[in-house]
Chain A
Amino acid sequence: HVDTAEVNPSHSNMSAPPHPQPPAKGASHAAGDFSYVGIDAILEQMRRKAMKQGFELNIMIVGQSGLGKSTLMNTLFKSKVSRKSVVSTPEERIPKTIEIKSISHDIEEKGVRMKLTVIDTPGFGDHINNENCWQPIMKFINDQYEQYLQEEINIDRKKRIPDSRVHCCMYFIPPTGHCLRPLDVEFMSRLSKVVNIVPVIAKADTLTLEERDFFKQTIREELRANGIDVYPQKEFDEDSDDRMINDKIREMIPFAVVGSNQEYQVNGKRLLGRKTKWGTIEVENIAHCEFAHLRDLLIRTHMQNIKDITSSIHYEVYRVRRLNETNGQPNAQPPNTLDSNIKYIMIHT
């Protein structure tokens, strides 16, 4: 049972936000700073607004059952956020068709509020015939884009359009140690075109370090050979700073992870881990597995970037495609009574 003393998955009450700096220190500035206008204060204004509004994050997890997806989610967010925590029946059943299950939680840390939605896909890859098992997932992702688009073109639209778009799809690769399976390649090559894919090697505690490195290298080569662009995609690096940081990440992915909800005593400290007869695997120890790297990438450094790529690239691609589709309606031809004086009408071809 994870000690969640610091993180409060709260519902209604919020701990007090960090002590805000009064943005206008007029008197104290006038004396010292003769040539100071104060435009950097806009950062503080933005931060306050962001803190008030809170953030949203939608993560989808895809992979065969038994790969530790739910456990990993719980480990990442240090609380019970996966669907397993909500469902009361402990028995595992494989659904007949792939289901898409969304669970949302409001979590909060140091005054920053986040609505986290974990989208689970039970049934993926579990059947005898897995053809087209990516279709329901693809449809779900596109449906979210469609929903956002409909709201965006609405005449009376909301101030802040609720964002249900999938920001990141974590794809769990079983730790075979050899190479990607056809299913992995099919799924990732299709979905990487519409969503940010973050592949992870699940249950990595069955691989030695050499096996792990070999496996990762093979996976990277196969991704390259199949033209699969996983996050962080090279073409979306904004500038040389980004490229340098992201190049380093691209040399490390896919991260080999181990998840756990249990704590053990190791060297006098309580750590998350998996206890075996031959030793205890420490989840957050980078010498044991790469969970910490995944967490840092996903949450601490690149979370906003993942959301930005979703909204400014993947969503825009969808939108352009939709707007370019020819209308199948015969009635859709504008009638001949158009007033030629009206200058507001623009037709894009």
Chain B
Amino acid sequence: RMHMTNYDNFLSLPLSLSRSLSLSLSRSLSLFLSLSQEKQYVGFATLPNQVHRKSVKKGFDFTLMVAGESGMGKSTLVNSLFLTDLYKDRKLLNAEERINQTVEIIKHTVDIEEKGVKLKLTIVDTPGFGDAVNNNECWKPITDYIDQQFEQYFRDESGLNRKNIQDNRVHCCLYFIPPFGHGLRPVDVEFMKALHEKVNVVPLIAKADCLTPNEIKKLKDRVREEIERFGIKVYQFPECDSDEDEEFKQLDKELKECCPLAVIGSNTVVEARGQRVRGRLYPWGIVEVENQSHCDFVKLRNMLIRSHMHDLKDVTCDVHYENYRAQCIQDMTSKLTQDNRMESPIPILPLSTPDVETDRLIKMKDEEVNCYVIMGNITYIG
């Protein structure tokens, strides 16, 4: 009891907020309070909760790109996943109008709040992809867009005022493979290969309700084999830790075996088996989007949102962005060399007093090549 009064001084406010906090936060608060009563604990076990609190205040952001030909159900799937209505005022072009259409990049942003957690979701749409007669390099506007976001972040990160850097980097790209063929088409292969080192590619089999379970299995096997054969590096789910519980390990195993996920989307509610469900009504039956025996929608949602969202962001930051940055620096410094000798550039900071070592390095570089690239206030010598 006496220990509790310590906390009344500092924390009487958050306690009153606890009514509106999510379950996980309430749980963490009670851990906190129990720790406060346990004298033998130092108390730093509350650290994860302290980090939590900050993140809840700030909110999260996530950028999802969807790519695939028109009519693959991309918009419907996005609406189903996030329970939004992002495409209300969309006008679909007819064939004639599409003849001269180029691939566009359209962003939709929506703020979602659930159980006290705020998410700023950005959907990057790519209308026009794969729709033309000649689709050569139709992915170029898309790869350019991804690179532009990386470049913007690189600039911001190298700049002087880093307080409010906006992260517009694409964290995940859902690629919709048509269910009608017999596996990957050339455009599918080329697209994924153009993107797999820039963004986390998650291939999906679209409109899976036109296939029987057997056909789905065959198609998945075929696509998996082709992905391997063509060396396409799709997003890999991280390995389970050995100390995870069995349920988690089982879910993880099932997820990995199900890829590529076969999805169906719907925002219309129908009545099935006495319940209201999201689905598609056919004369021969009702396809339920959230029924795991009908399609992998639930697996996709769980993976994308509930279990791997953070990892998708991490891989984007730690792998794709870092690769871009390193490559960018290399490219910038090698562009200026007379011949194509690509020496590894070194970053230097401005010095208020001359430094013998850097002085020597600069003189050395001067003799070979004369190139300096400055990003922000940081000079890279090549």
Contact = CB atoms under 8 A, between A and B. Distances in A.
Interface stretch (A63-71, A93-101, A327-335): A327-335
Contact of B44 (A17, A303, A316): A303
Contacts of B376: 323, 346, 348
A320 B12 CA distance: 38
A3 B329 CA distance: 54
B361 to A, nearest CB: 10
The residue in B47, B83, B302, B322 that gathers the most chain A C-beta atoms within 10 A of its C-beta is: B47
A122 to B, nearest CB: 25
Given A76-B42, A308-B54, A347-B374, A52 B116 contact: no
A35 interface: yes
Interface stretch (B90-98, B134-142, B155-163): B155-163
A320 B11 contact: no
B350 A326 contact: yes
Contacts of A7: 40-42
A51 B51 CA distance: 11
The residue in A27, A35, A43, A55 that gathers the most chain B C-beta atoms within 10 A of its C-beta is: A43
Contacts of B50: 301-305
A112 B48 contact: yes
Nearest to B319: A159
A329 B47 contact: no
Contacts of B46: 299-301, 303
Given A114-B44, A346-B375, A300 B32 contact: yes
Contacts of A234: none
A245 B13 contact: yes
Interface stretch (B64-72, B181-189, B191-199, B240-248): B240-248
B82 interface: yes
B365 to A, nearest CB: 9
Interface stretch (B125-133, B203-211, B307-315): B307-315
A337 interface: yes
A20 B362 contact: no
A6 B45 CA distance: 12
Contacts of B311: 45
Nearest to B353: A328
B312 to A, nearest CB: 10
The residue in A24, A157, A304, A305 that gathers the most chain B C-beta atoms within 10 A of its C-beta is: A24
Contacts of A43: 22, 24-25, 52, 55-56, 117
A348 B24 contact: no
A90 interface: no
B229 interface: no
Contacts of A156: 326
A37 B114 contact: yes
Interface string B7-37: 1011101100100001011000000100110
B318 interface: yes
Contact of B245 (A22, A300, A320): A22
A42 interface: yes
A244 interface: yes
A40 B349 contact: no
Contacts of B24: 40, 43-44, 47
Interface residues of A, number: 98
Nearest to B304: A38
A52 B241 contact: yes
B336 interface: yes
A346 B370 contact: no
B306 interface: yes
A299 B375 CA distance: 39
Contacts of A107: 42, 44
Contacts of A322: 349-350
B372 A40 contact: no
A153 interface: yes
Interface in A35-88: 35-47, 49-52, 55, 57, 76-78
B276 A34 contact: yes
A78 B44 CA distance: 11
Contacts of A342: 332, 335-336
B374 A346 contact: yes
B328 A344 contact: yes
Contacts of B377: 323-324, 348
A110 to B, nearest CB: 4
Contacts of B22: 40, 43
B40 A295 contact: no
Contact of B306 (A19, A24, A35, A324): A24
Given A22-B245, A26-B299, A155-B346, 17 more contacts: A37-B305, A38-B301, A40-B22, A40-B115, A41-B305, A50-B47, A55-B44, A109-B45, A159-B318, A245-B11, A284-B39, A292-B6, A322-B350, A329-B362, A332-B350, A339-B335, A342-B336
Q: Lowest 3 CB-CB distances: which A-B pairs, in order?
A: A323-B377, A24-B302, A304-B50
